[in-house]
Chains A and B, each alone.
Chain A
Amino acid sequence: MQQVVKRIIFYAAALGIWEAIVKLLNIKAVVFPAPSDIFQALWNGFADLTLVYDLLASFQRLAIGLVIALILGTVLGVVFAKSKVIDDTIGSLILPLQSVPSIVWLPLAIIWFGLNEKAIIFIVVLGGTLVMTLNMRTGIKSVPPIYTNAARTMDYSGFSLFTHVIFPAAIPHAVTGARLAWAFGWRGLMGSELLSTGPGLGYTLKFASDFGDMALVMGIIFIIALIGILVDLVFFSRIEKKVMKKWGLLEQ
């Protein structure tokens, strides 16, 4: 409780000082908007529904991209974990690819798919798939041998061993992979929307910037941060904690 109180006081004070400085020094909103300008811009955006449509469009792309990324990443991770030949060859590509921000592929994606939904979704898929693959591979490879040994003494082998023991044992890693896939996908989505046509949060941000509406730019940055935190805290952190606890990986 203490912590919450401290934070509320801190944020209230920070916003108050920010507002005061901007107003006292008479800084123009186009250079540095005050909190009240940002609030007004967001209010207008939601009132005329543009931000609502933006959010819906962005989430739709993200959802499609993430579903593809999670499926693809899971399959690839399993293949790499199970086949040493494929892991030593194609698998060695994953890490270098992962160190490239997915957004830099946008120029190529635009040539391949055109400046449309597909190009953006491609960037989201790329950002999410690689981390999912890496985590899934680690998950499958680090299944405790005691589980597989125990299952083998109970007549499980081959495919049934995989579906009943190895895959479920890897789920904690898969959850971490999904969480990271969301984070990377979200970044890729915002980046590629900046360079695309609307609607979409990133597109509206670029649009506002072209018209010098810095209050809306900062407002959208706040929304992006807020969504990032909310999805992580409300959704992924909870699932991860639950799974870790159930799988006995968390000390009580």
Chain B
Amino acid sequence: MFEMLEYAFMRNALYAGILGSIIFGIIGTYVVVKKIVFISGGVAHASFGGVGMSLYLGIEPLFGALLFAITSAVGVGYLGKEKIQREDTAIGIIWALGMAIGAFFYHITPGYLPSPASFLFGNLLMIGTFDIYLLSGLALSIVIIVVLFYHRLQAVSFDEEFSEVVGIKTNLVYILLLIMIAFSIVFLIKFVGIILVIAMLSIPASISSSVTHDMRKVMVYSVILSLVFILSGLWLSYQWNTPAGPTIILLSGAVFILNTLGDKLYD
């Protein structure tokens, strides 16, 4: 176990994994209970457009990805809320459009580029010290925001109409949530990838909510579960020489299926 930490990239992966667990556990809980898994999936895929555009412009891919993620998250949230467009239609379109923009820019950008697969499935080798700083800042901000706004976030997630009636600016709270989701997805792209990130936002929170009905506990359990999945996934991927992202997701997915079957049999 410890010999793998002799590699700098594995140490960074470990830090990213620990910080990622906090982010996945907390944000994933909101994604699951508010039933916005597919908005999150659409936002993740839309961010690929930003990756491609950043590579074309020669800037840090995360910045373009963030711009695309936030724009699409807020855009879909707004279109759905105002009933301008059917929400699931809007999600599907930004999903594909983002991927198309990414693929387009990949094609027209000259020179050597990191493989698209690195962004789609994650690549621990891409995670640098800068990413660890970003993730630390994000994890800290999320913890602070969630402590300060816990009751408001819970109220809006549970009953938006009532929250509005008692004077909560529900749209602002919802947008705050979507922006936190966009940041979480983008900052963890290098770790698990655009396609797989949604599994880490939904699996730990979903398993946790099957064992407790207290939202605070769902968050804590999700953080712990994410950490277990990530650490054991990292270790397995090192042992088997397999990519880390897919290994972590396969492990989480297997536990999710067993847990669901177990619940069914237990009933």
A and B associate in one complex? no
